[in-house]
């Protein structure tokens, strides 16, 4: 009877070795893809979700009786006035890529937010949570980065992606 030589038993890979190799290749490809795509590909979506959250927050403040709170927009980002929200939020400051510092808000780096073509505007909520500038026919905020995304504000205050 012939005995297998050492070389015959060393011909293949074990299942564990194959799985570990697949896991390492997967992790490396995810890292490589994120390097090629970059964060700018997702920045428009990030700003849109942050803006939607901030609009809901300002709306909740208005419903809670802080009527003087309005969300202000510029080419650098968007923010609430210093007297709105919690003290921790009021003290937070964000440094934007443009060099501007925004307190109690977020930068919109490489992303433009417009309302009817204007980048500088403010949205004020009434005590029923409606945006006073949008009560006649509703508003559409346009978030433009690598792609264009829209947020709609209905006449009765409903804010959603459109």
Domain boundaries, the chain: 40-161
Mean pLDDT of the 92-108 span: 67
pTM of the model: 0.67
Fold of 40-161: minor pseudopilin epsh fold (3.55.40)
150 - beta bridge partners?
Answer: 142
Q: How many CB atoms within 10 Å of residue 117?
A: 6
Mean pLDDT of the 68-75 span: 82
Closest CA to 111 of 21, 20, 41: 41
133 Cβ partners below 8 Å, 6+ apart?
A: 115, 121, 123, 124, 139
């Amino acid at each position: 009877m012939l005995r297998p030589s050492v070389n015959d038993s060393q011909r293949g890979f074990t299942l564990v070795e194959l799985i570990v190799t697949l896991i390492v290749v997967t992790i490396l490809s995810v890292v490589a893809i994120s390097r090629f795509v970059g964060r700018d590909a997702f920045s428009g979506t990030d700003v849109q979700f942050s803006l939607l959250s901030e609009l809901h927050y300002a709306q909740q403040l208005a419903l809670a009786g802080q009527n003087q709170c309005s969300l202000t927009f510029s080419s650098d980002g968007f923010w609430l006035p210093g007297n709105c929200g919690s003290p921790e939020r009021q003290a937070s400051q964000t440094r934007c890529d443009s060099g501007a510092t925004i307190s109690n808000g977020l930068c919109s780096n490489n992303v433009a937010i417009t309302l009817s073509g204007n980048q500088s505007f403010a949205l004020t909520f009434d005590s029923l949570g409606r945006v006073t500038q949008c009560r006649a026919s509703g508003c559409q905020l346009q978030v433009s980065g690598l792609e264009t995304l829209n947020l709609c504000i209905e006449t009765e205050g409903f804010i959603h992606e459109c």
